[in-house]
Amino acid sequence: MKKLAFLLIVLFFAFYSKGKTASTMNDEARCACKISNAKGPDLSIKLEPILIQVIQTNSPPVANAGIDQSVMEGQTTTLDGSLSSDPDGNTLTYQWTASGGIILSATNVVKPTFTAPEVTKDTSYVVALVVNDGTSDSPVDQVIIHIRQMNKIPIANAGEDLIIIEGDSATLDGSRSFDPDGNDLTYKWTTLDGITLSSNTNSKLPFKAPIISKDTIYTFTLVVKDGTSISLPDQFKLTVKHINKAPIANAGKDQIINEGEIATLNGSLSSDLEKNTLTFQWTAPTGITLSATNVVKPTFTAPEVSKDTSYTFVLVVNDGTLNSPSDTVIFTVKQVNKEPVANAGLQYIINEGETTTLDGSLSFDPDKNTLTYQWTAPAGIILSATNEVKPTFTAPEVSKDTSYTFTLIVNDGTIDSSPTQVIFTVKQVPKAPIANAGSNQTIIEGKTATLDGSLSFDPDGNALTFQWTAPYGITLSSCTLSQPTFIAPEVAKDTTYTFILEVNNGTLVSLRKTVYVTIKNIFNSYVFKAYPNPTTGIVTVEYTKNPNKKKEVLISTIKCNEVMRREITDSSKFQVDLSGLVNGTYLLMIVDDNQQYSQIIILCKE
């Protein structure tokens, strides 16, 4: 029982004295201990001061680098040495040591960090920890860091931006793209600017810069793939510089039109990439005249053609700097049967009664077809023919100037022409009046006879004056009346007297008209005779009445103008010489005892 009590006391002091000085222990060791026994009476032990000297020895600390870890490359990882300890309870310092490739945020802290390095395959790294309690280092403790290799996204590199001229060639170059893991890459190019690439899966793509109207930036995007991951996109900017380009002329579509039709050229589809204002210059083929050569849509009239004919027009446009290449358009002019053209000739002024010719010879057919003619004459005019080129007609008598319209239509074998007209003006001309001396008469000598010119007339209706001429020896009651009278003279035998009538309308004198009046002899069957009659000059006269008595012989013209007078006294037969007179009709008159005897003598010298 005493041994047990002693042992408890020793243990108590051992525990109590931990970390205490001897003096302290000496002080605190003076205590009493009461030990109770359950089976017996309490044991009281009286503790006497005992000097116990405790000598302390340093225990090395224990390093604890933490549990092994498995992390992804690139992952931030924390080491943990917080479970390291010191048996003596001393404060610890830390010293971490990492294998190559790992860089700690600090080597002397409880929980340093690091970023797991890139690895090409899963790799284990060893990190060692030593702690120190101020006196001693701990044994080394290690932690294994398993770094797992993870696939890294490849890096796309679309190349450096470029500036080129439109129409030049360029190459997209993504050959500097790479994969951190060294895997093979595939390529995919895209553009949103409307450029079509020959391929979009090659690392290098040649292409031609488009034609543009102003400087333009085109953006190409490249992504690469390593078989697992797709890179972030990288962009390549291509600046295409614009240069002024010649405009494009568009002369329009070819057309087919009919001759004589008005046609319109159309250059409105001409264009300029720079949207500059265009000027136009048209060139027409020979024989065609444009309404204008410098407008967008000039017009022209299709010419007459003898067969279908094509005409080529040329258009050049200018943008203020450059001319376009020329463009052409072809107009085919269709030959159509054209209406012939009638030409009735020139207008004329003619006199009434004149024979005149109509003239349609200037009529023509544009297609050179043979023409037929159809004339229409006004009422009262009869043409020599209505279907000839040049019919004739006689101008009618008119009472005043009168216009007559003739119409001509020609036909080319298919269609009639439009009618054309010509006007002939028929001039009323003064016409000589017509003398009518009346019917021949037979009366007996001594009777009163009446001449009758009342049937004389003037075609123009003018008033007439009369002029009668009586044979020698007959005296008219008036020479200017239409119906003068006279007393038939005594005749030795039946004798015919010629009376001449002329009428005048105030302008013109009619032709002479004669009337014969035969005076029957009722007193003598024979007085004288003259022969030969007609005569060439010498006339023999036999006069049986009063042969030895003086008598007068008178020779006068038919107008009673005396041209010869001669006295006969001694013969019943004598000669009268008319050879000194001009050829004509003469009146030979014998005056005997106031009686007149006359006979017409016709002188006709060779």
278: domain CATH number? 2.60.40.10
Report how many domains make up the chain: 7
Same domain assignment for residues 413 and 453: no
Give domain status of residue 325, yes or no. yes
pLDDT value at residue 336: 87
pLDDT value at residue 299: 97
pLDDT value at residue 407: 97
What residues contact residue 17 under an 8 Å CB cut-off, 6+ apart? Answer: 25, 52, 54
Q: How many Å apart are CA 278 and CA 324, to the nearest integer? A: 10
Cβ(563)–Cβ(581) below 8 Å: yes
Give domain status of residue 196, yes or no. yes
pLDDT value at residue 194: 64
pLDDT value at residue 37: 47
Domain's final residue, options 334, 357, 387: 334
Give domain status of residue 53, yes or no. no
Domain's final residue, options 485, 520, 555: 520
Same domain assignment for residues 538 and 509: no
Give domain status of residue 52, yes or no. no
Give domain status of residue 587, yes or no. yes
Same domain assignment for residues 229 and 263: no
pLDDT value at residue 264: 96
Give domain status of residue 156, yes or no. no
pLDDT value at residue 46: 54
Same domain assignment for residues 396 and 419: yes
Same domain assignment for residues 236 and 170: yes
**Residue 548 one-letter amino acid:** N
Same domain assignment for residues 490 and 538: no
Q: What is the residue range of 581's domain?
A: 528-603
Domain's final residue, options 178, 209, 241: 241
303-328 burial, b if ≥16 CB within 10 A, otherwise e?
Answer: eebeeebebebebbbbbeeeebeebe
What residues contact residue 55 under an 8 Å CB cut-off, 6+ apart? Answer: none
Coil vs helix vs strand at 532: coil
What is the 3 state secondary structure string of 400-461?
A: CCEEEEEEEEEECCCCECCCEEEEEEEECCCCCCECCCCCCEEEECCCEEECCCCCCECCCC
Cβ(241)–Cβ(286) below 8 Å: no
pLDDT value at residue 561: 87
Same domain assignment for residues 275 and 224: no
pLDDT averaged over consecutive 10-residue blocks of the chain (606 residues)? 50 48 41 45 54 74 94 92 93 92 93 91 92 94 91 89 87 88 88 76 86 84 90 90 90 93 95 90 95 96 90 96 95 90 92 92 90 95 95 91 95 94 91 93 85 92 94 90 89 87 93 92 61 89 77 85 85 85 88 78 85
Give domain status of residue 247, yes or no. no
Q: How many Å apart are CA 464 and CA 504, to the nearest integer? A: 5
pLDDT value at residue 602: 86
Same domain assignment for residues 33 and 79: no
Same domain assignment for residues 514 and 532: no
